[in-house]
Structures are given as structure tokens and as C-alpha cells.
Chain A
């Protein structure tokens, strides 16, 4: 999906998640804009993208800029009318922590840490058993084979 039919796309970059959250709060209260993605750029920069009509996006960014200046920070921003930008570019697709060498997730099917007792209760799908080999899983557990087969 791209954003061609959104009136305008705004992207605001702030240093730190807290500053970005403040910016989002100010923007959504000041104008009718909708946040569509948050992306951690690296180095502590967080980019928030949002859509709305051109006037709303512009006014929202103005308000966020003023709020940031009052708090002693700065914002980098851009506004694009009729954005020909894929939405996937604007979103962080990984919700959790990324490993340091982020590109090395190709071969294995997304190793995810087991989450609490519910994850190892032996539900039929149980793909998490593949992820934690160090945690002394019973070796003859059938879900392991199934997860590898998928």
C-alpha cells in the first residue's frame, strides 16, 4: 500500500523517544492528523510519520516545532503532498530489540525469545522451541521438528 491518496505526509524526527511522543501529542491535539508509523533511525533519532490534509500536517508540524523549542530541543521535519512513498518505508517492522548485527536474520525463521510460561506449554504450533536451545528443552519434543519443517 502506498500513500498516494493521503493528502499529505509529514515526517518529524526528534532526538529520543520521549521528545517524539511529546511531538505526537502536540500534533494530534492541534490538528486532525493520524500517526501511521514510528521508526527508530539510529543514534537515538526517532522518526514519526503521519498523514492528514496538507494544512493539518503543516499546522501540526508548526505546533510540534514550537513545543520542541519551548522544551529546548529541536525537530527535523518534512512535508510531502501526494506522497508516492510506500508505507513500509515509514514503519519499524520489528517491534522488539534488534540484535547488533541486524542483517543476520536470514537463515533461521526469526528466533524469538520464549515469552513466559505460556510459550512453552506445548501448544501445537510452538515455534518458540526452536529459539531457545540453551534452555534445556527436552530433546525429543515433537514441535521442534514441526517448527523446522515450516
Chain B
């Protein structure tokens, strides 16, 4: 799982059938040592713009809610309320 921030949404009306109704959000990974491009993740928890979320990638991303053959490689699976590393609270959701 990776920590990322939701920075936008993707609207697509013409897409493969298994993605119908999927909510597509653009997320930017947080705390990466090297720059990582923002990418698109399917949202399953109702995240909104600006929120810090957990994103799971790879085959695990397909194990949430979608049909198993849906072409999904990143899924938002949690909304982060509080983040603590090395006893430092690095993020608290307002």
C-alpha cells in the first residue's frame, strides 16, 4: 500500500464495460524519495479531492469490489485520518 493525496478526478464516459460507474481519481504519491508521476486509481471508499488516502496497486487492486477481470491496477482502499512516523505525527485530517 502507498500513501497518496487525491489531486483530481477523471471523467470518462466511453470506457470498457467493467469500469462502468467506477469513480476514477488522480492521486499523487506522498513521501516518495524520487519523483513519481500522479496516476489514476479507482475509488472504493468515497474519497474526495485533497484527502490523503491509501492506494493498493498490482493484482491486489482488483480484489476490491470490481469484477476480477476489470482492468484495474490501482485502488483507493482507505482514507487516512492520522499519519505517524517515528513518533512524529506527520498528518492529521482536518
Residues of chain A having any CB pair with chain B under 8 Å: 25-26, 28-32, 54-56, 58-59, 62-63, 65-67, 69-70
Candidates B20, B23, B65; contact of A30 at CB < 8 Å: B23
Q: Among the listed stretches B5-13, B27-35, B55-63, B80-88, which one makes contact with chain A, having 4 or more residues with CB under 8 Å of it?
A: B5-13
User: A26-B46, A29-B47, A30-B23 provided; 17 other pairs, C-beta below 8 A?
Assistant: A29-B23, A29-B25, A30-B11, A30-B24, A30-B43, A31-B9, A32-B9, A54-B13, A55-B11, A56-B11, A59-B12, A62-B20, A63-B22, A63-B23, A66-B20, A69-B21, A70-B65
Q: In the complex, what residues of B have CB within 8 A of residue A70's CB?
A: 65
Task: Kindly supply a per-residue 1/0 record for chain B positions 38-53, scoring 1 wherever the CB is within 8 Å of any chain A CB and 0 otherwise.
Answer: 0000010011110000
Are B11 and A32 touching (Cβ within 8 A)?
A: yes
- Closest Cβ of chain B to A72, distance in Å, is 14
Q: In the complex, what residues of B have CB within 8 A of residue A56's CB?
A: 11
Q: Which of B9, B23, B25, B65 is packed against the most chain A CB atoms within 10 Å?
A: B23
Closest to A65 in B: B21
Are B20 and A29 touching (Cβ within 8 A)?
A: no
- Closest Cβ of chain A to B40, distance in Å, is 13
Are B11 and A31 touching (Cβ within 8 A)?
A: yes
Interface size class of B (residues with CB under 8 A): 10 to 19
Q: How many Å lie between the Cα of A59 and that of B65 in the bound state?
A: 18
Q: How many Å lie between the Cα of A59 and that of B14 in the bound state?
A: 9
Q: In the complex, what residues of B have CB within 8 A of residue A63's CB?
A: 21-23
Q: How many Å lie between the Cα of A67 and that of B22 in the bound state?
A: 9
Are B22 and A66 touching (Cβ within 8 A)?
A: yes
Closest to B12 in A: A59
Closest to A52 in B: B11
